[in-house]
Structure 1
Amino acid sequence: MTDRDARHRRAMQKLKSHVDERIAEASEQRGQLLVFTGNGKGKTTAAWGTVTRALGYGYRVGVVQFIKGTWECGERERLIDDANLEVAIMGTGFTWETQNRDADTRACQTVWSEAKRLLDDPNVYLVVLDEITYMLKFGYLDVDEVLEALNGRPAEQTVIVTGRNAHRRLLEVADTISEMQEVRHAFNAGLQARRGIDY
């Protein structure tokens, strides 16, 4: 064995020991609250990836889309026929296109009632609240009501919240926060969103 191989082996043994120790310390088993936020691309895509994972194990999943529901969504199209997936869509599209606060608020409240039903169902393993951060930012939903529903959900249920500018109170109660950081985005250079890649 060369010196380089020996150093590598010692480093990997040390890393394994550290990882094994962390795994042994993680003894709590429960659902989690994950927040995917930030200005970068990929928040919704990451959430759909987790949806795919949960469905792959046969768990029931609910996805509530607050903004992009009227857009094509390749992940939704691929998974929609899975009997364990339920999707609720706000159905008004982007709020900057509707430009009608009252109509958007009513549409938001309607789909939020579906979200509350999912958050109250112990048989739903994973709930995704896609782009709900905007509903809080624009005042369509009350943050206290949302937190009450999140805090009162079944203990085994995991929730993923996506969207930019996540409310600080959501961040305070989250178990995991992933911030997508934009380094460069093709749209800013004039490239159109691409079907099958961006949506």
Structure 2
Amino acid sequence: MDIEAPPTERTRVTPDGERRGLIFIHTGDGKGKSTAAFGLALRAHGRGKPVKIYQFMKVPSARFGEHRLFEQLGVPIEGLGDGFSWKSRDLAHSAELAREGWARAEATLRAGEHFLVVLDEIMYPLRYGWVPLQPVLHALRERPPHVHVVLTGRNAPLELIDMADTVTEMQLVKHHYAAGVPAQRGIED
């Protein structure tokens, strides 16, 4: 590791634009996409802002750690799917659930009642063709100007990346699965 001197001066750039709802994308093969989105949701909720979380691949009855905590905090989190595709017994039904879920999420975006809307794992139904990309792009463009949106999942479409204000690509450097360490509650859920 190279040692470096801590900065002693700060270069400050003063933004001159107006505040508005932002679009965030967390994508890539690395771990942390949903975790980052949930951190932003907690930050907004901590400031008293209304937040709504949709999870496109989780079942409505999911009780992972985030569900338990958000429930305690009064932050609505809604599973819209029936699990990841390799767990699905009926992919046509999975696609139908994704389309129905998108209709609910779109209505929330357009209503403007939430400061932040999280569309967790939405890249999967987009990539599988279960949810068409164009209606998602239209809803993001046409949402009320104060609504912030976070979209997560691997392989975000270029059209979404171009539209977004902030895009973070999580890069896999090393993962414990490769060393044979299984998933652990409180870390992977």
Question: Please, what TM-score do these two structures have when normalized by structure 1?
Answer: 0.86
Contact residue 71 and residue 93 of structure 1 kept, 8 A: no
How far off is 1:94 after superposition?
Answer: 1.1
How far off is 1:130 after superposition?
Answer: 0.4
User: In 2, distance between residues paired with 1:95 and 1:71?
Assistant: 16
Name the counterpart of 1:74: 65
Name the counterpart of 2:21: 31
Identity of aligned residues (%): 36
**Number of residues paired by the alignment?**
184
Q: Which blocks of at least 5 consecutive residues in structure 2 are unaligned?
A: none
Name the counterpart of 1:86: 76
Which of 40, 61, 80 is 2:30 aligned to?
40
How far off is 1:71 after superposition?
Answer: 4.7
Which structure has more helix as a fraction of its residues? Answer: 1
Letter in 1 for 2:135: E
1:101-128: CA deviations, max 9, x gaps?
A: 2101111112112101210122200000
Name the counterpart of 1:3: none
Contact residue 61 and residue 126 of structure 1 kept, 8 A: yes
Q: Which blocks of at least 5 consecutive residues in structure 1 are unaligned?
A: 1-7
1:6-36: CA deviations, max 9, x gaps?
A: xx79x523xx2x12xx1x2343210100000
Question: Please, what TM-score do these two structures have when normalized by structure 2?
Answer: 0.91
User: In 2, distance between residues paired with 1:174 and 1:43?
Assistant: 15
SS at match of 1:80: helix
Which of 160, 163, 173 is 2:163 aligned to?
173
Letter in 2 for 1:79: F
User: In 1, distance between residues paired with 2:62 and 2:172?
Assistant: 22
State which structure, 1 or 2, has the greater radius of gyration over its C-alpha atoms.
Answer: 1
CA-based RMSD of the aligned residues comes to: 1.7
Contact residue 70 and residue 77 of structure 2 kept, 8 A: no
SS at match of 2:39: helix
